[in-house]
């Protein structure tokens, strides 16, 4: 394949005339905006392909921070002549990110993003600081200085996970993976070098002989299941049998249930918002035509859900729960990945989140009996965030429906989506057997004994 042209910007480089200095810096800011925007859209595909909860949480944080970078770059860019009024990403940039998502192996894809694409972005920010005039472009410079610090921190935060990914790859011998992780990073680096780096400031390097764009030969599809690493799995953590599941639905609203039991169950519920993290992450890639502000709010939504899951992940061990006895539920991902992005988003915001308010309100009132400031605070912020998420749904669902040519009213669409979910649940739900036997896994009965300090096996 012929070497693609260098990254000519719109507005193009080599600006002339009285506003040339401003237009050149606007050109670079525009490229940086597009890179950050594409990172938000594509790095989200890593989240459900990696298994370690702390890594999922970190990716969600980085995506949210990248969305913030993009928004500030857009706001500053619009103050400068030549930034442009649209938000489109040029195909030459998008092609590199499309390539980056193609590995089937999550650790390989993660390494490509963080060993090749993110360092190139940091280099782009540093180049901007090197070429801009410090006083004239002070507003841009202060933003970029902050973004450089963020990118450097991202690299430090991800370093132990990249080490773990290398160990995982070595242990597995990358079965069926072609190329290896190292070869894949070389492949991505060549794709980026052919375009002169993200900003097009380096001389373009011809693609090596035999180079093949993977994304041109095969479409990306979400995996049929999400990865939960070493943790045990099941279909659902909710149910009615306290000998089978950890969250016993009737107990949550029964006034006779001890508040300490409810506290433990709601922490399990919060940790299982990992479900929301995984299936919401699929929506970004599937909506390349969405306005940036939609992706910005989705990134905030995603980060919120990861924090809610972390509430449970970090609080449960403090209350005596061995996390390796808590099975992770997979049903929602298995069902929702079969649905369109508007359907996934409708179920999340208009059904799951909106429908949780009455039960969570009751739970919050009960937990207040314990005078547990930390639990009260975590649940209050969870409630506040969920209210914002439903507002996002009311605002963005009609827009997402329009992007997919959906002519029905929101009310009709939501009703039809609820019915379609029930139909798909009958096919794709309940298919994940318990990884652990009842005597080992966390159940409602064990939660009650643990919370009340009662003796038991």
DSSP of 149-197: HHHHHHHHHHHHHHHHHHHHHHHHT-TT-SS-HHHHHHHHHHHHHTTTT
Look-up of token digits 């600006």:
15
Residue 9: per-residue pLDDT: 39
Asked if residue 29 lies in contact with residue 73, where contact means CB atoms within 8 angstroms, the answer is yes
CA atoms within 13 A on the CB side of 344: 24
Give 10-residue mean pLDDT values along the chain (457 residues): 40 66 95 98 97 97 98 96 92 96 94 97 97 95 97 98 82 58 95 95 94 94 96 97 96 96 97 97 97 98 97 96 97 97 97 93 95 95 95 97 97 98 97 95 97 68
**φ/ψ (deg, to 5) at 315:** -90, -35
Asked if residue 432 lies in contact with residue 226, where contact means CB atoms within 8 angstroms, the answer is no
The greatest distance separating any two alpha carbons of the chain, rounded to the nearest whole angstrom, comes to: 82
pTM, two decimal places: 0.93
SS3 content of the chain, % helix, strand, coil (to 5): 65, 0, 35
Give the contacts of 105 (CB within 8 A, at least 6 positions apart).
169, 174, 177, 181
Residue 76: per-residue pLDDT: 96
Asked if residue 101 lies in contact with residue 45, where contact means CB atoms within 8 angstroms, the answer is yes
Return the exposure string of 396-421: e unless at least 16 CB atoms fall within 10 Å of the residue's CB, then b.
Answer: bbeebbebeebeeebeebbeebeebb
Cα distances (angstroms) measured from residue 377 to each of 270, 308, 363, 364, 383? 13, 12, 13, 10, 10
Instruction: List pLDDT tens digits, range 415-439.
Output: 999 999 999 999 999 999 999 999 9
Residue 171: per-residue pLDDT: 66
C-alpha to C-alpha distance for 115 and 155, rounded to whole angstroms: 9
Omega of the bond prior to 421 within 30 degrees of 0, cis? no
Where does 162-302 show beta strands of DSSP type E?
233-234, 238-239, 247-248
The conformation of residue 90, written as its DSSP 8-state character, comes to P
Asked if residue 50 lies in contact with residue 59, where contact means CB atoms within 8 angstroms, the answer is yes
* Token output for 127: 């180049």
* Token output for 113: 């993003």
Residue 15: per-residue pLDDT: 63
C-alpha to C-alpha distance for 449 and 456, rounded to whole angstroms: 7
| Residue-wise DSSP of 344-372 | HHHIIIIIIIHHHHHHHHHHHHHHGGGT-
Which of helix, strand or coil describes residue 398?
helix
- CATH H-level, domain 20-186: superfamily: Ferritin, core subunit, four-helix bundle (1.20.1260.10)
Q: Is the backbone of residue 219 left (phi > 0), alpha (psi -120 to 50) or beta?
A: beta
């Amino acid at each position: 394949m012929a070497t693609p042209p260098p990254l000519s910007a719109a507005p193009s480089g080599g600006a002339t005339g009285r506003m040339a200095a401003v237009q050149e810096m606007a050109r670079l800011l525009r490229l940086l905006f597009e890179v950050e925007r594409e990172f938000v859209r594509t790095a989200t595909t890593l989240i459900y392909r990696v298994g370690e909860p702390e890594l999922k949480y970190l990716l969600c944080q980085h995506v949210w921070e990248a969305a913030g970078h993009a928004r500030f770059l857009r706001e500053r860019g619009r103050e400068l002549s030549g930034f442009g009024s649209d938000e489109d990403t040029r195909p030459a940039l998008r092609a590199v990110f499309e390539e980056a998502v193609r590995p089937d192996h999550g650790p390989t894809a993660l390494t490509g993003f963080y060993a090749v694409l993110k360092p190139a972005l940091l280099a782009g920010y540093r180049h901007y600081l090197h070429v801009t005039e410090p006083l004239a472009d002070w507003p841009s410079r202060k933003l970029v200085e902050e973004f450089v610090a963020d990118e450097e921190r991202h690299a430090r935060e991800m370093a132990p996970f990249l080490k773990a990914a290398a160990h995982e790859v070595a242990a597995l011998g990358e079965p069926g993976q072609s190329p290896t992780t190292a070869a894949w990073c070389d492949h991505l680096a060549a794709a980026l070098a052919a375009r002169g780096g993200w900003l097009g400031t380096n001389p373009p390097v011809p693609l090596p002989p035999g180079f093949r764009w993977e994304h041109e030969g095969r479409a990306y599809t979400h995996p049929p299941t999400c990865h939960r690493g070493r943790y045990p799995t099941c279909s659902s953590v909710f149910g009615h049998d306290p000998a089978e599941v950890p969250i016993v639905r009737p107990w949550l609203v029964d006034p006779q249930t001890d508040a300490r039991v409810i506290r433990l169950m709601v922490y399990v519920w919060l940790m299982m918002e990992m479900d929301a993290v995984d299936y919401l992450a699929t929506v970004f890639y599937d909506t390349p035509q969405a306005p940036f502000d939609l992706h910005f709010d989705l990134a905030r939504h995603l980060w919120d859900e990861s924090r809610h899951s972390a509430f449970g992940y970090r609080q449960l061990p403090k209350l005596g729960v061995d996390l390796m006895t808590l099975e992770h539920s997979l049903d929602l991902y298995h069902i929702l990945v079969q649905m369109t992005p508007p359907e996934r988003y409708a179920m999340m915001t208009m059904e799951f989140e909106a429908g949780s308010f009455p039960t969570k309100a009751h739970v919050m009132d009960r937990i207040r009996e314990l005078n547990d400031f930390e639990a009260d605070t975590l649940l209050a912020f969870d409630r506040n965030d969920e209210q914002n998420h439903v507002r996002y749904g009311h605002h963005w669902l009609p827009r997402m429906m329009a992007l997919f040519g959906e002519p029905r009213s929101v009310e009709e669409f939501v009703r039809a989506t609820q019915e379609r979910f029930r139909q798909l649940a009958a096919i794709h739900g309940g298919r994940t057997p318990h990884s652990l036997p009842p005597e080992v896994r966390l159940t409602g009965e064990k939660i009650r004994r643990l919370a009340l300090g009662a003796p038991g096996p």
